[in-house]
Chains A and B, each alone.
Chain A
Amino acid sequence: MQKRSAQKIRPNKRFRRDTRMYHLMLLVPVLILFVYNILPIPAGILMSFQNFQPGRGFLGSKFVGLKNFQRLIALPDTMPALVNTLIIAVWKIVGNLLTAVTFALLLNEIQTKWYKRTVQTITYLPYFLSWVILAGIMIKFLSPGSTASSMGFMNTLLMRLGLIREPIYFLGTNETFRASVVVSDIWKNFGYNSIVYLAALTGIDPTLYEAAAVDGAGRWKRTIHVTLPGIAPFIALMTILAIGNVLSAGFDQIFNLYSPAVYETGDIIDTLVYRLGMENSQYSLSAAVGLLKSIASCILVLLGYKIADKYAGYRVW
């Protein structure tokens, strides 16, 4: 012990620490991640080129080459699922961004402390509820009413206000399903998403506002010329990092809200993967869809990280 310490205080010599402890700490987590996150990758690749049968296992199942991918292209559900995923995901990214920024800007103008805190408490709440819970709430809340159940609060309200004559089946028709999904996603997330921008707003130099006020800039001008440029890097960063989500339109939400009546506009890649694999036992086909999605997502996320690193100096690790 004495000798080691002496070695460490020698000047110009970097600390040589015992790194065995570090490896030891990482052993169990790395092992778990290896089994449940890494092993499925080769397993998925293998399955995609096989006619996988659980009884025969990964090594005993028959190799079929590209047949699964050919079937995938021929499948009538594939194209709509891809298109729906992109449409819903892009609307969600844009909608979530705009609402979060706007909400943060508006909230920033409120000086009454207790009111601001109350607003934050309430608007962050939906984020912490699962989509199962929210689906349960929304299916009832948006219900058009039928013989089995009564009309929901939303339709009742809209009809009493005279905005609509017939109740709208928000979650049950192809015309309204995507909009319902996007709006409810925004509703769940805007409060929580605004936290990043509220934090960024506190970082803006107050002297800039004072200078702008001296120059005679009103509230609107100050927002445009001081506040927005101040949080622009964060907006850019959040957008770039969201690129990776373009192929994930929100499985948890759509799985709990959709029904066969709206597959045309609401079926996404992840729900297709689920139905193929879990309901139709088309394991290999499901794995093939998953593999393609994973490759594409990986490229998109990497692209996002690269851009974020280059322009914002942002590094995850």
Chain B
Amino acid sequence: MNHLNRSKTWWLSQTLIYFIITFVTVSCIVPIINLLAISFSASQAIIENTVSLLPVGFTTKAYTYVMHNQKFWTSAKVSLLRVLFGLPINLVMTVLVAYPLSKTEQAFPARKYYVTFMLTVMLFNGGMMPTYFVVAKTGLIDTLWALLIPGAVPIFSCIVLMNFFRGIPSALEEAALLDGASQGQILTRIFLPLSKPSLATVALFSLIGHWNAWFDGLIYSNHTVNYPLQSYLQTLVASNTQAMLTGDLKSFMEMMDVNDTNMKAAQIFISIIPLMVVYPFLQKYFTAGLTLGSVKE
């Protein structure tokens, strides 16, 4: 209906809207471009403050340095393993919870007890230290399992998938039951193939969650070799590396013409790359996932 009254005020407000939207959008990307520019800039330019959105004195030395940084790659390997195992674990657990709980109370009378249990888990938090000691008592400290098992059942994802399962017509299941299908067959032959978009959402959330998690790695590892990438980066960001560096490394860095700033920037940027790769897929699915989880008929 807008075309009926495109007055002067309409054009004015439209211009204003475009201006505001463009401004906030640019503000979202500028810090990231700034980081990228810094990572490719020469030390001297960074010290003199001349780097804004384009690299000054373009150099890939910071990246060459990262290539030789053993710690970075050790932790990247931990992160990779974490995603490789964590993603399937999360997916399987989500399905195992979502499927039975998507049934009606008539079909699954014990559902209400399980739901109460899930609600308790969601509502009450044991706290950082008690959880730490339970993880320690079960012998997970300094193992990859500490990053996989305590968070193996993502409750938010369970709710998303459960709601999706509920939307699948019950006639399909009843027909399969009449044909003599088992519950396992109904799940794998009917429910899972029908819920691909929802499963993709869950998988992507799990992927992002595992890739971005840093705190568990930090507290459940005594040795830094067990740090995932984000935990390693956390220690890097939190510290003033320049002050901590001892003779050898410092002279090596000077020789390489890298400094604290572009070296950090390069490592941060490399760690974002995997996210950028999955981002297009993410965009396709997360809207569906988010609205499924929050908006119900």
Residues of A within 8 A of B (CB): 1, 5, 8-9, 14-15, 17-19, 21-23, 25-26, 28-30, 32-33, 35-41, 43-44, 47, 54, 58, 103, 106-107, 109-111, 118-126, 128-130, 132-133, 135-141, 145, 148-151, 153, 156-157, 187, 190-191, 195-196, 199-200, 209-210, 213, 218-220, 234, 237, 251-252, 255-256, 270, 273-274, 277-278, 283, 286-287, 290-291, 293-294, 297-298, 301-302, 314-317
Q: Identify B237's interface contact among A136, A278, A317, CB under 8 A.
A: A136
Q: What would be 12 A-B contacts, judged by CB atoms less than 8 Å apart?
A: A36-B131, A38-B126, A43-B130, A130-B214, A135-B237, A139-B237, A140-B35, A150-B47, A153-B30, A273-B127, A290-B128, A314-B296
Q: Is the interface of B mostly helix, strand, loop or mixed?
A: helix
The listed residue (A19, A125, A136, A199) touching B295 by CB distance below 8 A is A199
Whether A213 lies near B291 (C-beta < 8 A) is: no
Contact of A47 (CB < 8 Å), options: B5, B20, B130, B182: B130
A28 touches B32 (CB 8 A): no
User: With the chains together, A187 CA to B32 CA distance in Å?
Assistant: 13
User: Smallest distance from the beta carbon of A209 to chain B beta carbons, Å?
Assistant: 6
B184 interface contact, C-beta 8 A: yes
Give me the 6 closest cross-chain CB pairs, A-B, nearest first: A40-B126, A290-B127, A22-B100, A130-B212, A44-B130, A40-B130
Tell whether, in the assembled complex, residue A54 and residue B29 are in contact, meaning their CB atoms are under 8 Å apart: no
Residue interface bits B229-252, CB-to-A below 8 A is 1, else 0: 010011011101011000000000
List chain B residues, Cβ under 8 A from A110.
Answer: 17-18, 21
Beta-carbon contact of B106 and A140 below 8 Å: no
- Is B13 an interface position by the 8 A CB rule? yes
* A141 contacts B31, C-beta separation under 8 Å: yes
Near A by CB (< 8 A), chain B positions 1-50 give: 1-2, 4-5, 9-10, 13-14, 17-18, 20-22, 24-25, 27-32, 34-35, 38, 46-49
Would you call A41 and B126 a contact (CB within 8 A)?
yes
Determine the distance from Cα of A135 to Cα of B194 in the docked complex, in whole angstroms: 40
Contact B279 A125 (CB under 8 A): yes
Count, chain B residues at interface, CB 8 A: 111
Contact with A along B218-235 (1 / 0, CB 8 A): 010000000000100110
Min CB distance B42 to A, Å, is 12
Most buried by A among B1, B14, B265: B1
Contact check, A290 vs B97: say whether CB atoms are below 8 A apart.
Answer: no
Whether A106 pairs with B21 at a CB distance below 8 angstroms is yes
Q: By the criterion CB–CB under 8 Å, are B28 and A126 in contact? A: yes
Q: Contact at A278–B219, with CB atoms within 8 Å?
A: yes
Whether B261 contacts A149 by the Cβ 8 Å rule is: yes
CB atoms of A37 and B290 under 8 A apart: no
Write out the residue numbers on chain B whose beta carbons fall within 8 Å of the beta carbon of A157.
52
Shortest Cβ distance from B238 into A: residue: A256
Q: Which of B58-66, B114-122, B195-203 contacts A (4 or more CB under 8 A)?
A: B114-122
Residues of chain B lying within 8 A (CB to CB) of residue A136: 35, 233, 236-237, 264-265, 268
Give the residue name and chain of the B residue nearest to A277 (CB): B129
**Residue in B20, B110, B178, B283 whose beta carbon sits within 8 Å of that of A121 in the complex:** B283
Report the minimum CB–CB distance from A106 to chain B (whole Å): 5
**Residue from B27, B38, B47 within 8 A of A187 (CB atoms):** B27
| In contact, A123 and B24 (Cβ under 8 angstroms) | yes
Contact status of A119 and B21, CB under 8 A, knowing A43-B126, A156-B49: yes
Question: Quick check: A37 and B130 within 8 Å, CB to CB?
Answer: no
B91 vs chain A, min Cβ distance (A): 12
Give bound CA distance, A118 to B117, whole Å.
Answer: 42
Q: Is the CB–CB distance between A196 and B153 below 8 Å?
A: no
B282 within 8 A of A: yes
Is the CB–CB distance between A133 and B180 below 8 Å? no
Report whether A122 and B29 are in contact in the complex, using a CB–CB cutoff of 8 Å.
yes
Q: How far is the CA of A301 from the CA of B124 in the complex (A)?
A: 10
